[in-house]
Chains A and B, each alone.
Chain A
């Protein structure tokens, strides 16, 4: 049986927290609940972005998801490098 929306949100956050890679493709999030359809998982992941619990990282051609604390942020990285 598919997870409820809140359970799915919790599973996605757990995956984003514990995954060795800090940034995840949408397909990586499908593993959070194989019983939920890709469209459901996509909608829940986008809702988490709206709630600012996840963030998008985009190369321009592909988009990935990550926790704000784990995302690769060029601007803060540039600032940290210039502060050194």
Chain B
């Protein structure tokens, strides 16, 4: 028997798609507080304003993150959700679970919470929605002792590192993303569980420039697989695609007749740097001009593969649009080796350089990308001890991106420019 009328929410059950409203009504059979979620959301739709207050002092002992306090601002109307905290659970690398583990997590949440989950939150965590303060410590004990799972990050902490499936399923992956994600999660436990920074900080790892975890758009520190040498070409397979022996795009988009495969139209003309051409029936690539967009490889996966000298590009500073609009990460280091034998030194030394600087220079609630924007990329490149490259600049041919330092200029800033021009300028 519904506890509240929800005519607006009921509309969301009418389409052919799955509905969270139906799920919540079903869940309310065992968890009556779910009626109050429906009631409060209905009120929010009506009032066009959220009735959640988020923030508070809740947490588990020793941790400064992983639990987000959430309260209703109309608790008398909806007492079941007066306190309705969120728990973030660190997801396994690449989001691999056994069904037994998923069942165990659901059972745990049915015991201590509302039973409602969000798989996965945008940072990647398993998000368990809705519990009360007294349930937090027992939940945490069972989660860590029985299920061997940890909490994820929240607040001004390092957030839960996230990665794509990497080499476990993808032949394009240029490094083992899951291994790096696991390593960084363990290495930076203190930063993950205790607030250290002016604001949140996110790592995301993609195995290739297809960037399936959208690291370049969503993380402060994106490690995106790449290669240094030439794209590997199987010329016989190129001819096979041209003859129509293999479906392009690995057979994706096959629901409609796109006509005969046209390598000129579908590959060469779409190369963003025009670095590909045909000489007779042989495909040529000017690899030094390749910008690693992956389009040609995606279209002809049997014919083209990433090069063999593999590693990653490091991009820094993406964020969602809270203050000044969404921002993509900027490419800072074109290529690093991602090497387990050195304990990923090339990655961690760059992370720590950024942290040491940002902890000092970043303002409260300022993402590292915003700090870079404020101080300018040349200053940040100095922090990172990186020489400016044309690839750091959107229009390197028209933008004078090299800034000379006084000591690099003969005579410094104090020289007599008229005297100099008498001798050198027309």
Interface string of B356-368 (1 = CB under 8 A from A): 1001101111000
Count of chain A to chain B residue pairs whose CB atoms are closer than 8 Å in the complex = 97
Interface size on B, residues (CB 8 A): 37
A67 to B: closest C-beta gap in Å: 12
Residue of B nearest to A59 (CB): B55
Question: In the complex, what distance in Å separates the CA atom of A26 from the CA atom of B70?
Answer: 22
Asked whether B82 is an interface residue with its Cβ less than 8 Å from the other chain, the reply is yes
- Judged by a CB distance under 8 angstroms, whether B140 is at the interface is no
Q: Do the beta carbons of A49 and B64 come within 8 Å of each other?
A: yes
- Find out whether the CB atom of A58 lies under 8 angstroms from the CB atom of B200: no
Check if B189 is an interface residue, CB within 8 A of chain A. no
The winner among A50, A60, A71, A72 for most chain B CB atoms within 10 A is A60
Tell me, yes or no, whether A17 is within 8 Å of chain B by CB. Answer: no
Docked-complex contact B156 and A73, CB < 8 angstroms: no
Considering the complex, give the chain A residue whose CB is closest to the CB of B86. A60
Known A50-B62, A56-B59, A57-B55: A62·B75 in contact at CB below 8 Å: no
Is A58 in contact with B69, judged by CB distance below 8 angstroms? yes
Q: A56-B64, A75-B83, A78-B82 are in contact. Are A46 and B359 (CB under 8 A)?
A: no
The reply on B154 being an interface residue by CB < 8 A is yes
A46 touches B156 (CB 8 A): no
Collect the chain A residues with CB atoms within 8 Å of residue B411's CB.
none
A interface residues, how many (CB within 8 angstroms): 26
Binary flags per residue of A39-69, CB closer than 8 Å to B gives 1, else 0: 1001000100110000111111111000000
Partner of A39, one of B75, B195, B196, B363: B196
Q: Does A74 count as interface, using CB distance less than 8 angstroms? A: yes
Q: Known interface pairs A61-B155, A75-B133. Does A56 touch B360 (Cβ–Cβ under 8 Å)?
A: no
Given contacts A58-B154, A75-B56, A78-B75, contact A38 B64 (CB under 8 A): no
Chain B residues within an 8 Å CB radius of A74: 53, 55-57, 69, 71
Q: Does B198 belong to the interface (CB within 8 Å)?
A: yes
Q: Are B65 and A57 in contact (CB under 8 A)?
A: no
Instruction: Check if B57 sits within 8 Å of A71, measured CB to CB.
Output: yes
Inter-chain contacts of B82 with A (CB < 8 A):
78
Take A25-B364, A26-B195, A39-B196 as given contacts and tell me if A58 and B75 are in contact as well, using a CB distance cutoff of 8 Å.
no
Q: Name B366's closest neighbour in chain A (CB-CB).
A: A27
Once the chains bind, are A63 and B157 in contact (CB under 8 Å)?
yes
A50 to B197, CA, bound (A): 18
Top 7 closest pairs, chain A to chain B, by CB = A63-B155, A63-B195, A59-B55, A38-B359, A60-B68, A58-B155, A63-B156
Other than the given A26-B198, A42-B196, A63-B157, 14 more pairs (CB < 8 A) read: A25-B198, A25-B364, A38-B356, A38-B360, A39-B359, A46-B195, A56-B57, A58-B64, A58-B195, A61-B199, A63-B155, A74-B55, A74-B56, A75-B56
Interface of A toward B, CB cutoff 8 Å: 25-28, 38-39, 42, 46, 49-50, 55-63, 71-75, 78, 82
